[in-house]
Amino acid sequence: MRILIVEDEPQAADRLALLLTQALPQAEVVARLDTVKRSVAWLQSPAAADLIFMDIQLADGLSFEIFEHVAVKSPVIFTTAYNEYALKAFKVNSIDYLLKPVDNDELKAALTKWQTLTAQPAVPAKMMESIASAMQMLTKKYKERFVVKVGEHLRTLEVSEIGFFFSQEKTTFAQTADQRKHILDFTMDQLDELLNPSVFFRINRKYIVSMKAIQDMVSYTNSRLKLKLKGCDDNGIIVARERVQEFKDWLDR
């Protein structure tokens, strides 16, 4: 078995290679590459690998850029330091990943999963579709500011200034830490797509909140949660029941 390691941290690459030789004595690490550029060149050459371990952050950029320059035909297992948003992208798209430092048991489980999947002929194509979807999630540019009207003037409102968004009588508002409300020309559904999900969470149809805006959380009927937001007079802000577990995961990232 020929294995390619794409990793820009020498110690991490050494550890992974050691664990691989212990788990798969027949395996051969055919190359260790530390940049997007070197990886693209290697994958464009006649050389081949049966399995690739690929770190997300490389010396010259994200490893996702590799897929933009060359068709990767081998299965890929990503390695990454803890990043909730990256992990969400992988989980949503069913991509295998390992957290660094790589755990021996988790590596063995990933290898077992890989050996099972490679027996299925459609896996490589599905894997590339999944990676493309994850790339889109991870490289997406999110809204950084809004243009709002203040009296007769226009000003830019930085997203970092906003504690929460809410809808009232078919109008969308953004409320800042100083309790000022600004009307936005966006629907709540549009905001849900434009805002970084690692910073904002849509708890129900009417509210999208940031972590910093939450003043208190109380258990409520039917397994729901009731929130108190800083500077908000609404005492009936409820996390929708179907969103409670995802909301808790978001808080516990």
Residue 123's domain is classified under what CATH number? Answer: 3.40.50.2300
Examine the domain organization and report whether 22 and 126 are in the same domain: yes
Determine the average pLDDT of the residues in 162-169: 95
- Do 231 and 164 fall into the same domain? yes
Point out the domain boundary residue: 139, 163, 182: 139
pLDDT tens-digit series, residues 82-133: 565 566 656 654 567 777 888 888 888 888 877 776 665 555 566 666 666 6
Q: What pLDDT is attached to residue 25?
A: 87
- b/e map of 180-200 (b: 16 or more CB within 10 Å)? eebebebebeebeebbebebb
Assess whether the previous peptide bond of 101 is cis (omega < 30° from 0).
Answer: yes
Residues 157 and 214 in one domain: yes
Where does a domain end: 85, 112, 139?
139
Tell me, what CATH number does 172's domain have? 2.40.50.40
7 touches 16 (CB < 8 A): yes
pLDDT band at 135 (very low <50, low <70, confident <90, very high): low
Question: Mean of the per-residue pLDDT values for the chain?
Answer: 85
Cβ atoms within 10 A of the Cβ of 117, count?
15
pLDDT in tens, 224-236: 899 999 999 998 8
At 18, give phi and psi (nearest 5°).
-65, -45
pTM (two decimals): 0.53
Residue 205, pLDDT above cutoff 90: yes
Same domain? 130 vs 212:
no
Start-to-end CA span in the chain (Å): 36
pLDDT in tens, 29-62: 999 999 999 999 999 998 888 889 988 888 888 8
202: pLDDT strictly greater than 70: yes
Whether residues 133 and 150 share a domain: the answer is no
Domain boundary pick from 108, 123, 139: 139
- 117 Cβ partners below 8 Å, 6+ apart? 75, 123
CA distance 251 to 245: 10
Residue 38 confidence (pLDDT): 94
Please check whether residues 79 and 177 belong to one and the same domain: no
| Domain boundaries, position 174 | 145-251
Q: How many CB atoms lie within 10 A of CB 218?
A: 9
Q: Are residues 8 and 127 in the same domain?
A: yes
Domain count, the chain: 2
Q: How far apart are CA 142 and CA 127, in angstroms?
A: 26
Contact between 55 and 102 (Cβ < 8 Å): no
For 44, the token pair is 């464009």
Q: Which has more confidence, 129 or 22?
A: 22
Residue range 15-23: average pLDDT?
A: 91
Confidence of residue 253 (pLDDT cuts 50, 70, 90): low
User: What span, in angstroms and rounded, lies between the C-alpha atoms of 42 and 72?
Assistant: 11
The answer, yes or no, to whether residue 245 has pLDDT greater than 70, is: yes
